[in-house]
Chain A
C-alpha cells in the first residue's frame, strides 16, 4: 500500500513536471502585437489574409500573414502546408517569434473539415472585435 502510494506520488509529480514543460500556450495576433507573447514556442491563430501567401518559386519556403482583423503577424514556414490550408480561412500555427517580429512556423495544424473554425481562432476574432469596439 505504501509502495503504491509512493508510486502514485512520483507519477503525479512527473506528470506535473512533464505537463509544465510541454504546454503550448495560445496567443492571438493582438496579444503578440501588445508584446504579451513569450520567447519560447507557442501557438498563434487567426485568419490567413487573402493574397498574403507568397512562395519562393521551386522551394518549400512560404510566407503568409495571420490576422485577428485588428492586428497581424507575418508567418514563415518551410514545410508542407496541410491540404485544408487556404487564404481567407482560419489557421493555427505552432512556432516561435524571431527578432524581426516574424513568426517561424514549425507546424500548421490541419482540420478534418474546412468549414470548421478552430475555437481559439473564433475566440481571438471575437475578442479583437470587442476590443476595437470599445
Chain B
C-alpha cells in the first residue's frame, strides 16, 4: 500500500510540474498576473509530493519491503539501518528519484529567494524549472520507476553493493547532485532572461549567488567522490578520468567559466551572449553526464546495468532542453549588443582568457569522453581513451589558465597600466620560480621540466593570492577588502594549494606491488615496512582477513597499519579496505591484495607526497565561494529591488 502511495505522489508531482512549467510562462507572455501567481503554489505542491515519494521509498527500505523490486535488489534485512536509508540512492531508479528531490529543493529555494524579483521574470524562472522537473519525473516514472512491485517478494534482499556500504556514500551522491542539478538554476535564469528580453546587470546579479552555491556543492561533491575513492575504496588514486568522473568535471569547468563571465556581465554589462551560452552549456553537460552515467553506454566503474529506452529518453530530454534554449538564443541574440569594449590589459581581458581556457579544457575532456561513442557509432570498432590522453591534453589549457589567475586578479576593470602591474607582481613571481626550481631538488633529488613548471605556477598563484590580504592585514595599507575580494583570494589560493598537491602526488608518487610472507621487510621511499601476517576478523555483515604491517622510519616505529580484505556475506564479494597513514606531508597507503599460496599475500604500497593538499585546496575553493556570496552587495541589491518592486505593486493595488 505504502509504495503505491509513493507511486501516486510521483504522478501528482508530475502533474504539478507540468502546470508549473506551462501556466506561469504562458501567463507571463500574456501578461496575466493570476496565471503567473500559480508558479509558487505549483512549485510548493510539487515539492511536497516529491518529498513524499522519496520518503516512501526510504520507508520501504527501512521496513524491508522486499515486494518492491528496487528494495529487494539493493537491500537486505541484515544491512545496518543507517545503510538501509542510504540504499535508497544505491541504484539507478533511486538515484533518479534523488535527482528529482534535489531539483525540487532547488526550486523551492528559488521560489523563496526570487520574491524580490519582478513577477514576470520570477514566474518564467520557476516555469523553466517546472519543465525540467516534468521531463525528469516523466523519465523516472516511465522508464526507471523505483516503486515497481515484485510479487511474490523474495524472503530476503540481494543486499547493497558492498562498495556503497560506506559513510562516504551518504554524502557524496546528494552533494554532487546538489551541484549537478543546481546548474538548472542559472539555466532557468538564462532562459527566463531570453524570454523576457532583459539580459542586464540585474539578471547577472540575481544569477550569480545561485551559480556560486551550485558550484560550491559541485566542488564539494567532486572532492568528496575523489576523497572517497582514495581513502575508502582503496583504489590507490584520486582521479581516474573515468567517464563518470568526467561527466561531473565538465559541468564544473563550465560552471567555473560561468562564475567568471557573470562577474564581467554584472560589473560591465558585456559578455552577455557568452554568459547565456555558458549557462546553457553547463546545464547541458550536467544532463549529458546523467545520460552517460545512466544509459549504460560507457564502460565505467560507475556504470549501472543498462536499458536502451532510458538512453533514448535522456537524449530526447537533452535535445529538448539544449536545443530549445539554443533556438531561443538564436532568435533573441541579436538584441544583445555589447555596451563598450575593453583594453587588452584589463580584468575583462583576463576573464575572457579564463573563459576561453576553461571552455577548451572542458572541450578536450568532452572529446576524450565521447570519442569511444563516436568511433563505435561510425563503425570503426571499439576503443577506449585512457588517462594518458587526459593527462597530456588537460595540462595544455590548465597550466596557462592557472598562471593567468595570478595576474588577472591584480588587474583593474576597463584598463590597467602595465608597468604598475609589473612592479606589483615582480617579487612574488621571482620568488615562486626560485622556490619552484629549488624545492623538488631539496626534497626529492630529481625533477622534470613539467614538474618545475607546474610547481612554480602553483606557488605563483598562492603568492599572488596572498598579496592583497597580507598588505591589508600585516602592513595595514590599501583599501579594505570586500567579502567578494576575500572570497576570490581564498578560492584562488585554494587553486594553488590544489595544484601543489596534484603535482607532488603525481610526480613523486611511489607505487609498488609485492608479495610478502610474515616477517618480510620491504624498503621503499625512506620507510621500512614489516609484514606480520594476517588474521581473521568478524564484522557485522562481513568477515575479513586483516593484515598487520609495521611502518618504520630509521628503525623507529611510526605506526601499525591494518589493511583488510572483507567478504560480505550476502553478495559473497570481496572488498579492499586500505590502511592509510596520513601526516599532512605525505600519505602511506597499504592495501592487501590476495593470498598467493605459501603463506604469502600480495600487498599494494603507495607513498604520495602532499596528497592532503588536494582536499585542502578544493576545500579552500569552496570556502572562497561561500565567503563571496555573503558579500554586502547581494544583500543590498536584494533589498533595493524589493523596494522597487513593492512600490508599483502597491500602486496597482
Comparing B139-147, B216-224, B381-389, the segment that makes contact with chain A is: B381-389
Min C-beta distance of B299 to chain A, whole Å:
6
Do the beta carbons of B571 and A24 come within 8 Å of each other?
A: no
* A100-116 to B contact mask, C-beta < 8 Å, 1/0: 00000000011111111
Give residues of chain B (376-431) contacting chain A, Cβ–Cβ below 8 Å. 381-386, 388-389, 392-393, 396-397
Q: How far is the CA of A91 from the CA of B375 in the complex (A)?
A: 22
Q: Report 29 cross-chain contacts, Cβ distance below 8 Å, ordered by A residue.
A: A4-B356, A11-B396, A18-B392, A19-B367, A22-B385, A23-B375, A26-B381, A26-B382, A26-B384, A43-B384, A55-B597, A57-B596, A57-B600, A58-B515, A58-B599, A59-B515, A59-B596, A60-B513, A60-B602, A83-B565, A83-B573, A83-B575, A83-B576, A84-B573, A94-B386, A112-B302, A116-B303, A116-B304, A119-B296
Tell me whether B596 and A60 are in contact (CB under 8 A).
yes
A87 at the interface (CB under 8 A from B): no
* Nearest CB of B to A61, in Å: 9
Q: Given known contacts A58-B599, A59-B596, what 12 new A-B pairs fall within 8 Å (CB)? A: A8-B356, A15-B368, A19-B367, A19-B368, A23-B384, A25-B382, A57-B596, A80-B602, A81-B594, A83-B573, A109-B299, A115-B305
Q: A22-B386, A24-B384 are in contact. Are A111 and B301 (CB under 8 A)?
A: yes
Q: Tell yes or no: A14 within 8 A of B by CB.
A: yes
Nearest first, the 7 closest Cβ-Cβ pairs linking A and B are: A58-B598, A80-B593, A26-B382, A22-B389, A57-B597, A58-B600, A57-B598
Q: How far is the CB of A71 from chain B (nearest CB, A)?
A: 17
In the bound assembly, the distance between CA atoms of A85 and B515 in angstroms comes to 18
A55 to B397, CA, bound (A): 45
- Chain B interface bracket (under 10, 10 to 19, 20 to 34, 35 or more): 35 or more
Instruction: Give the residue name and chain of the B residue nearest to A120 (CB).
Output: B382
Closest Cβ of chain A: how far from B489's Cβ, in Å?
Answer: 28
Residues of chain B contacted by A23 (CB below 8 angstroms): 371, 375, 383-385, 389
The B-contacting residues of A in range 62-77, CB under 8 angstroms, are none
Q: Once bound together, how far apart are the Cα atoms of A11 and B366, in whole Å?
A: 13
Is A88 an interface residue when CB atoms closer than 8 A count as contact? no
- The reply to whether A18 and B389 form a contact with Cβ atoms under 8 Å apart is yes
For B598, give the chain A residue with the smallest CB separation: A58
Whether B237 sits at the interface, judged by CB under 8 Å, is: no
Q: When each residue 31-60 of chain A gets 1 if its CB lies under 8 Å from chain B and 0 otherwise, what string results?
A: 000000000000100000000000101111
The docked-state distance in angstroms from the alpha carbon of A81 to that of B601 is 12
Contacts of B565 in A (CB 8 A): 83
Answer yes or no: B201 CB below 8 A from chain A CBs: no
How far is it, in angstroms, between the C-alpha of A118 and the C-alpha of B514 when the chains are bound?
29
Does more than half of chain B's interface fall in helix, strand or loop, or is it mixed? mixed
Is the Cβ of A80 less than 8 Å from the Cβ of B594?
Answer: yes
B303 touches A111 (CB 8 A): yes
Report if A93 contacts B (CB, 8 A).
Answer: no
A125 within 8 Å of B (CB atoms): no
Q: Which B residues are within 8 Å of any A CB, using their own CB? A: 161, 163, 296-297, 299, 301-306, 356, 360, 363-364, 367-368, 371, 375, 381-386, 388-389, 392-393, 396-397, 513-515, 517, 565, 571, 573-576, 593-594, 596-600, 602, 604
CB distance from A115 to the nearest CB of B (A): 7
Contact B389 A118 (CB under 8 A): no
Asked whether B604 lies within 8 Å of A80 as measured between CB atoms, the reply is: yes
Q: Does A79 contact B (CB under 8 A)?
A: yes
CA distance A31 to B521 in the complex (A): 45
Q: What's the minimum C-beta distance from B338 to chain A, rounded to whole angstroms?
A: 13
Chain B residues positioned under 8 Å from A81 (CB to CB)? 593-594
Least CB distance, B426 to chain A, in whole angstroms: 26
* Given A23-B371, A60-B514, A80-B594: A112 touches B382 (CB 8 Å cut-off): no
Q: Output the nearest chain B residue to A10 by Cβ-Cβ distance.
A: B396
Given contacts A8-B360, A58-B596, contact A18 B393 (CB under 8 A): yes
Instruction: For the complex formed, measure the closest distance between the CB of A20 and the CB atoms of chain B, giving whole angstroms.
Output: 9
Contacts of B304 in A (CB 8 A): 113, 116
Which residues on A sit within 8 Å (CB–CB) of B574? 83-84
A118–B301 Cα gap in the complex (Å)? 10
In the complex, A81→B594 CA distance in Å?
Answer: 8
B162 nearest CB neighbor, chain A only: A83
Chain B residue nearest to A118 in the complex (CB): B299
Residues from chain A with a CB closer than 8 A to the CB of B382 are 25-26, 120, 123
* Cβ–Cβ < 8 Å partners of B296 in chain A: 119
Chain A residues closer than 8 Å to B597, beta-carbon distance: 55, 57-58
Residues of B within 8 A of A14 (CB): 393, 396
Partner of B363, one of A11, A57, A80: A11
Q: CB < 8 Å: which of A15, A26, A80 contacts B367?
A: A15
